[in-house]
Amino acid sequence: MLKKLKAYTLAEVVIVMLVIAVVAGVSIKITKAKLDNIISYTYYMGYSTLRNVTGQMLGDFKAFDEKYIDVAVAKKSPNMFLVAINWLNEHFETPAWAANLSTKVDDECIAPDVTCPAGYSKCEMGTPGAVMHTAPTSSAGCHGIGYYFCCENDKPSASVCGDKTCAINETLNPLTCECVKNACNKTCGANQTLDEDTCTCIDNPTPNTCANQPSDEEIHNKLCQEQLQWQGYPTCGYNPVPCNQEGSRWSKTSCACVPETATLPRKGANFCEKFLDYTNTKSTAEECNGDAIASNLTDFTDKKADIVLRNGLKLYNVRQNPAPLPLLAGNNQGGSYELADGTTVNVNEFGYTVYLDIDGEKGSSTLWEDVFPFYITMTGKVIPLYHTEGEKEYGGTSRQHLMTSVQKEVITTTGHRQVLWIKKSVPFKESACTSGYINSTTPYCSGVSLEPTCNEGANVCILKYVSPVKFF
């Protein structure tokens, strides 16, 4: 008898293949869902980190904190030598006696302001201090007739004049025995007069006017640009204008003290340092020393991050100074502040552009794959930028990355509170522009208009964030 062989029928093989296909399809779908969920969750986590940190930072704003306000240019240290010299010149004058010292002539000296009378000349011989009465042909060597003298130690002999004395500011002339007023070789200031008797400078009476009276234009410019106010007579100078109210600042454009607008730190280095204060960072990573990121950069593999968080998130471009945000041009809600050059910037049009790597070292570090850009306005608003590639949306136009809703609360005619949902589970851009969170006239909101009901006075619309569910 023939032995029977066991085998699979065609129907059985087909069934097995169908089962395998179903299992593979389900597995792929589950895997893709998990991957999408990971991206959605990590993107939301990164966005929440930025929002929480900037919110806390803004809440701690202080108008007198240099970490928030532009740091003043360091003043140069004064030259202490020049300071000392100027101080000596201001507090000490050349003594009168120093300017009137007599000068030695040949081997003898003559008293100040004493000249030989007509017909007489200097004694070439004789004893210092002695007075000679000579004839024209005297063998003593003096020429002329009359009295003449030699001096010793700059003091003329007064022997011929007996006991006659002169005032402290006078000198006895031994030729005439008269007291001669000493010359006062002293120069006084423009607003001073020399007193010949005392050889001192006396201040002239101050007129009730200022010699250096500035023009009205100069006074105005000094006030607005340098915060200095002209005092007029008798001060005739400028004094600082204080902003005594806490939380106020001087505005060059307004030419007055205005309330200081609360902002994030206005310098990139300070912003980065403050960011570190509110986060846990990787201990081995270098901080706030990363590369500047160009707007057209797509590959971040060789770029150094400013901050690496403990959960692996990388933040680029944090320490770069704030600048105009092109897509938010016209987003002029809120206040303003002035730059160092006096330029006024709106706090919702000006800010930082930060790049966030949501998977750190694990991914490709490629823009729109695992690296995403964000605007951070000076008011602390975190605005995700967006990108379209075919039918795929990224960032602010992707429900997968950031899902939002728009809520509005109204009070009914019966006095009851009612919650209305203007938008539900839509991308960030749609909710932000619809609700007025971002001005709908900005380039960012292209194609999206403000919802009319969100512009009705007190009943404003509120942007709500939909947190993704973590199931991986």
- What does the pLDDT look like over 54-80, one tens digit per residue? 999 999 998 888 889 864 333 344 444
Q: Residue 428 pLDDT more than 90?
A: yes
Q: Residue 183 pLDDT more than 70?
A: yes
> How far is 359 from 363, CA to CA, in rounded Å?
6
Query: Which two structure tokens, joined as six digits, stand for 408?
Result: 């509005």
Of residues 137 and 214, which shows the higher confidence score? 214
Of residues 12 and 402, which shows the higher confidence score? 402
What average pLDDT does the chain have?
78
Confidence of residue 150 (pLDDT cuts 50, 70, 90): very low
> How far is 104 from 299, CA to CA, in rounded Å?
89
Confidence of residue 457 (pLDDT cuts 50, 70, 90): low
The CA radius of gyration of the chain, in Å to the nearest whole number, is 46
pLDDT digits (tens, 9 = 90+) for 13-46: 778 788 777 776 665 554 444 545 578 889 999 9
> How far is 83 from 231, CA to CA, in rounded Å?
27
Three-state secondary structure of 109-167: ECCCCCCCCCCCCCCCCCCCCCEEEECCCCCCCCCCCEEEECCECCECCCHHHCCCCCC
Confidence of residue 131 (pLDDT cuts 50, 70, 90): very low
Give pLDDT, residue 97.
Answer: 32
